[in-house]
Every structure is written in C-alpha cells, then in structure tokens.
Structure 1
Amino acid sequence: MLKVLASLKRYYERSQSAPLTLLTKKSTRAEILAGVCLCLCIVLFLQSLKLVWFSNIPDIYMHVINMLIHIGFFSSAFFLTKLGFFELARWLLILTFISYLFTAILLWKINLNIQFYFLLGMFASLYFFHQHETKQMWITLCTFCGLFIYFQTGFVFSVHKEAWQTSLINVNGFALAISCFMLATWIRWQMDSSWQKIRATERKTSQLLKKVIPQHISEYLMSAQQQELSTCINEHAFTSIIFIDFTQFTPFSRQTSDKNLVMFLHRIYTVFDTIAEQHNITKIKTNGDQYIAAAGLDTARLSAYETSQHCCEFALAISKEFEIEAGIDIGIKIGIASGNAISGIIGHSRPAFDVWGNTMNLASRLESTAANREIQVCQQTMLYSMQHYEFCPGATKQLKGLGQVTVYKLLGKK
C-alpha cells in the first residue's frame, strides 16, 4: 500500500512539473470531469436517502447497495482527477455510469425510463475527449446510443403491450437515439471547429509575440497563469550588446522622400533581422537609424566565449551585407560591449522589451565614437574573441560618462 501511495505521489509531482501547455489542455476537461463525479455522488446519495422512505419497495436493500457501491466508484474517479490521473478517472467514470444504469434497470425490472440517462451520458462524454481522441469518442457515443436503443426497444420489461404500441415505442426510441446521436455529432463538430480557430489564433499570437520579445518571455506571458510584467526582468551575468548606426544618414535623408526613407530602413532592417536569426542574436529594438541587438539574452546557456564570438561574427556579416544593400552613399559604424546586463519588459501600457546596464551604455559610446565602416569593441569582447578574430592594438579614448576606456577595432576572422 505504501508503494502504491509513493508511486501516486511521484506521478503527481511529475504532473505538476509538466509543461504548462500540456496542463492547460487537460485542466478544463479535468475540472469538468471532477464536477460531474461530484454531482453524481450527490445525486446518488440523495437517491439512496429517498429509497429509505419507501419500505414497501421489493429488494430495496439491493438498490441501496447498488447506489453505495457506485458512489464509491464515482468518488474514486473524483480523487483520481485531483491527483492528475485524468485518463484513468475518465474511463472509470464512463464505465461506472454505464454499470450503474445497467444494474439499476435490471434490478427494477420495470420501465422507469432510467435508460434515458444513457442519452445524458452521450452528451456529457463530449467534453471528456480532446480533438485528437476521435476514435475513443465515437466508441463511447455508439456504446451509449446502443444501450439506450436496447433497453428502450428490447423486451426486457415484462409489461404487455399491443402490437401497434410496441412498434410505435420502437420507432420513437430509434428516432430519439438517432436524433441525439446526430445532435451530439454536430456539437462535437462545433467544438472541434472552435478548437481549431482557438489554436490558429493562439499560434498567430505566439508567432507575433515571439517577433516582438524573446521566446522565453513570450512563452512565460502566454502561459495559463496570470503573470506580472515585473517577473519578466532577468539578470544576465555575461552578454554582448551591439549598436549599429548609419553614417552620412542625415544628408541621405534630405535627398529622398520620407516614404522612401522608411522603405529603405525597412529593407535594411529586414536583412539585419535575417542575419540575427542565423547567428543566435536577439534583436532589442530600433531607434531611427540605430539598430540594437545582443547575444546571450535567450534561455540557451552560452559561454562568455560563444557570446562574444557570435556578436563579432554578426557584426562582420552585417558590415559585409550592408555594403551590398546600401551602396556607397551611406556608411555604417558598430560598437560592441560585453558584460552583465538586465533585460525584460517594464510598465503596463504597451510594454516593450529592452536591456539596461553599464554594458548597454558602453556599447552605445563605442558606436558613437567609431569611424565610418569601423567596428569598435571593448576589452572584454576582444579577450574572449581574440583566438578567432583579429583586432587592432588597443587605444585609449575618452568616452562620455565613462572616462578613459581602452577600445579595440575588429578587423575580421583569423
């Protein structure tokens, strides 16, 4: 017994640590199942109390025993649902419901219309099966429908009827069963259609959200539990921030219309986004002609060497591709800094993903002091990337708000 309880506890703990998406799919059906079990327990308990007052019912103790036994089974299904054994609880509920009605009809030996509860079970079972469980659902619906037809039209009850009465009862029974079956099928079709629309909408929302903020934050916000935005702020021990800005942009903007300027930025930033995805770089934001991204902000645990090298590789790819896309009328300058940072989304009105910290400020200063077509990096970035990339000897520069800082120029791969 102790081993069984221990295994139940382990299964419950695993279900609590399961992915939120899986728990979300089953939570609603599990709540419905638990509610049905509890409702049936209460109804049967009241039925058993009612029978006590009718002492002239033949074999009344058999009816009470039947109810008490099935109350136990319904209660077991309820507790199994609470422990996370949804599959077992579901089939126990369905089989117990069938067993109770089957036994009750045979015990009464007269037609008390108990068989109509099979139709109720047909509609209730629609909510116990997920969209992909079509085979199990059809088996259950056909079972309930067949049992109703058998007890409604079969010669189970020893009551004399005229031939026309028997024929009419049989026709009405078949018509009622087929009508309920068709209605249940239509309801299920409507449910499947609603599920597909909800899943399509959720998929589109998830894809759109992942384009705006990092994937781990979007999944956190889209989970079933209500989340506070303040909990989406993460500290990063090591990350590499890259600032990209255009040179000769002001003269270029004066020579073209506003619409063409925006279309130019859209075309260039689309190329940047594609390259960022190829090099595991997280886009932070754009600010006019300034593009800001980082490496090491996602859930993938990259080393300091990998983070710095990804950012250097991204900068070189951007510099090369920009010359092809933009031509010679406009230039580019890049600044890269590595260190600790804080990322997340803050506020409640149109929250946006951003990064804060000294590393962010240093990358911005390195970009602003860089020359045209030049990639300036800090000392930490150089130290973690020097095995695979070439740098000019360090030079000391006065950076606004940061004082004297040693900077290096990224030349290319070794």
Structure 2
Amino acid sequence: MLHVLPVLKQYFERLNSPPLTIQSKPSKRAEILAGICLFLCLVLFVQSLKLLCFSDIPSVHMHIINMLLHLSFFSSAFFLSKLNLFELARCLLILTYISYLITAILLWQINLNIQFYFLLGMFACLYFFHPRETKYLWITLCIFCGLFIYFQTQFVFSIGREDWQFGVINVNTWTLSISCFLLATWIRRQINRSWQQMQMTEQKTRQLLQKVIPSSIARYLMSAEPLSLENCITEHSFASIIFIDFTEFTPYSRQTSDKNLVTFLHRIYCVFDTIAEQHQLTKIKTNGDQYIAAVGLGNSSLSSYETSQQCCQFALAISREFEIKAGVNIGIKMGIASGNAISGIIGQSRPAFDVWGNTMNLASRLESTAANREIQVCQQTMLYSMQNFRFCSGLTQPLKGLGQVTVYKLLGAK
C-alpha cells in the first residue's frame, strides 16, 4: 500500500486541478484512476497468494476471502472510472481502503502495526478532495485519526506490559495522531494556497490573452489540444475593418525624443482602445503610427447594417476625441471597408492575431489615399450606413493593386 501513495498524489493533483487551468481530458483521468485500481488489485492478489503458502497463519481462509472481496471492490472502482463516475469511484476507493485495514486488523488479532496505515491514509486523502469539498475532507481525516487511536489503544492491551507502559503508549498514540492531524491540516492549507495562486495566475493570463486575441481563440489556446489550422482560423461573411493613421507624424518624430514619441502613441492608443471597447470593436494590431480594428469578428450576431454603422460611429468618435486628446500638431486619417474576411493566428513561434482578405487590403488603400482629417469608406460601407450617416458623392479613383474603386467620404451622423 505504501507504493500506491505517489501514484494517488499524481492522479488527484490532476483530478483536483482548478477549472481555469489546463486539464486532462475525462478519458485520460479515467485511464489514470483505472491504473490505480488495477495496481491495488495486483497487490491484494499477490498477498492472497502468499497466504496460501503459510497454513499456520490464523484464519488463513478468512484472509483469502477478505483479499478477494476487496479485490472485487477495487475492480468495481476500475469500471466506475471507465464510466467517468469519478465521485463514486473515489468514495469506493476510500471505503475499500478503510474496510481492508479494519478487517485485516481484526483477522490477525495481534498487533502488527497495520493500524499505522490509517495515518498514511490521512495524508493520502489530502489529494482526494477539491478545495470546495473541505467538509468531506475533515470528516475523512477525523475518521482515519479516530480509527488509528482506537485500534492502537486496543491492541496494546493484548501484549503483556506493565501499567506504566500502557500509559506511555497511550500518550504516544494520542500525540502521534494529533500531530499527524495538525500536519495534515497544515499541508492542506499549503495546497489550497497553491491552488489559489494558480487560479489567480491563470485568471490574469486568460484576461491578458483575451485582450490580445478574441475569446474563442483564447479559450482554444488555453486548452491542452495541439494547435491546428482549423481551430485557429475563422471565416467571416461580413466584417468592417478600419485603418487609422497619423498625418505629419514623421516631422513630429524628428522634433521630439523617442521616449516622448512612444509616450504619445501609448496615450493615444489607450484612448482608441477605450472607444473600441465601447463600440464593440476588436483591436487587430498597431503598426507604428497605424491602428487597425474591426467589427464583426467576435460577435457573429451583428447584421451587415449594424457592423458597418458601428464602425462609422467608432470612426467619428475617434475623430472627435483625437482633436481633444492629441495636444500636438498631428492630424489623423482613416479608411473603412466592409466585406468578407478571414481572421485567426498562424505560425508556431509567438503566434499573433491578424486578419486577411481583400477587405483588409481595401481598407488599407482607403486610409493611405485619404487626406488629413478625412474618413474614406468603400461603396458597400456607404450603402449599409447611408440611413444614419452623411456621405459626400462618390469619387472613382485608382487604388494600388485594386484598380478603379468608387470612394466615399464620411461626413458625420444625420
């Protein structure tokens, strides 16, 4: 039974791991618990074979029946784990452990110190219970401690000793049991503290990951599944993408220090991030003085009209806030395009979230050809937003790599 403890600890550390951490699949947990049951079955079976070779052992037939009976209990736990009934399998393991020790002690009728396995069970059961199951843990600890005290104090009287020896043994029994109980509670507190730290670390990691990439991809990356292209790439039938760039940025960068330049970009991009969150936009990335965001990547329930109009509202809000927050002689220009797109992460080393497709290229070209303080949009964006926003007459102009494209300028809300 001593060799079972490290295996039990490894299994229940995985079984009781917090829900926000990377966990094994239920089938993997079933395999681990099934392996434990089979190992215990093998130990009991070997012990029963040994008893057949020693006929002078008292109640040898009862010992064999006891072994075979508990062998069937562990086998039942094996099948329960295969059915993913982990709670029932765990309870059966604990009850079988207690039952085996009690019947073995009663059958031997001599003091072979088997009762010390109850103290061993106190430390083993620390890994059998989740932090939310503290009540059941205390009950189990008290049962193991009480059983050890009872059998230890009962069997010392069957050995010829003087009265003062009885007192010493009883004092040592109570001292040892209480010490083990207190030590087990201290270890449990350390385990709970480790679990709490793991949960806090995982929560921070999840929050940070969800700020960098969409929630659906973040949940997939936090799982134990290997990366695959199908799970990392998502096609969007309609999305609106906006490119934001600064004008007169190069002259400003030559006049100020690098630290001031980065401080300015950080301050402005924090304002952009706040507005993007208010209008339910997904920030794609920043590229120097270029800010890229999109609508319709994380929320598939938005209609084509809502997607385009939210992007226009975001652009106008950015234009207003930039005039207030900029504080330097720098302008701003934007380009918005709507259509199908594909988003996700590719690569293995430091994967980054990005969007690809003709809509992405069109938004980039609209931004690059826009003048200072202009918001250029494509025809599809204009058609889906014209009921609530004002646009100037369309102008056909050549865009690099796209040919002649009709371009509209967003003037404001109606």
What's the TM-score once normalised by structure 2's chain length? 0.88
Give 1:144-293 correspondences, 5 Å limit.
144-154=144-154, 158-228=158-228, 231-293=231-293
Query: Partner of 1:330 in structure 2?
Result: 330
Query: Partner of 1:97 in structure 2?
Result: 97
What's the TM-score once normalised by structure 1's chain length? 0.88
Cα deviation digits, residues 234-293 of structure 1 (max 9, x gap): 222221110011122223333322222221111100000111111111111111211111
Between stretches 39-48 and 292-301, larger displacement belongs to 292-301
Residue 32 of structure 2 is aligned to residue 24 of structure 1: no
Between stretches 351-360 and 252-261, larger displacement belongs to 252-261
Between stretches 150-159 and 307-316, larger displacement belongs to 150-159
Letter in 1 for 2:237: A
Contact 2:236–2:340 (Cα < 8 Å) also in 1: yes
Q: Secondary structure at the match of 2:178?
A: helix
Offset of residue 318 of structure 1: 0.8
Count how many residue pairs are aligned between Structure 1 and Structure 2. 396
- Tell me the distance in 2 between the aligned counterparts of 1:402 and 1:323: 32
Letter in 2 for 1:310: Q
Query: Partner of 1:16 in structure 2?
Result: none
Letter in 2 for 1:293: A
Contact 1:230–1:345 (Cα < 8 Å) also in 2: no
Cα deviation digits, residues 33-80 of structure 1 (max 9, x gap): 544433322211111111122233343222222221211111222222
Contact 1:243–1:363 (Cα < 8 Å) also in 2: yes
Give 1:338-353 correspondences, 5 Å limit.
338-353=338-353
Q: 5+ unaligned residues in a row in structure 2: which ranges?
A: 1-17
C-alpha distance 73-300 of structure 1, shift in aligned 2 (>3 A): farther
- Tell me the distance in 1 between the aligned counterparts of 2:153 and 2:35: 32
Q: 5+ unaligned residues in a row in structure 1: which ranges?
A: 1-18
Offset of residue 373 of structure 1: 1.5
C-alpha distance 130-31 of structure 1, shift in aligned 2 (>3 A): farther
Query: Partner of 1:88 in structure 2?
Result: 88
Residue 314 of structure 2 is aligned to residue 314 of structure 1: yes
* Seq. identity, %: 75
Contact 1:395–1:407 (Cα < 8 Å) also in 2: yes
- Tell me the distance in 1 between the aligned counterparts of 2:259 and 2:58: 90
- Tell me the distance in 1 between the aligned counterparts of 2:283 and 2:384: 22
Give 1:135-150 correspondences, 5 Å limit.
135-150=135-150
Letter in 2 for 1:305: Y
Q: Secondary structure at the match of 1:24?
A: coil
Residue 60 of structure 2 is aligned to residue 60 of structure 1: yes
- Tell me the distance in 2 between the aligned counterparts of 1:81 and 1:235: 40
Contact 2:279–2:310 (Cα < 8 Å) also in 1: yes
Contact 2:379–2:408 (Cα < 8 Å) also in 1: yes
- Tell me the distance in 2 between the aligned counterparts of 1:233 and 1:404: 31
Query: Partner of 2:380 in structure 1?
Result: 380
Offset of residue 140 of structure 1: 1.0
Query: Partner of 2:407 in structure 1?
Result: 407
- Tell me the distance in 2 between the aligned counterparts of 1:178 and 1:26: 38
- Tell me the distance in 2 between the aligned counterparts of 1:293 and 1:391: 21
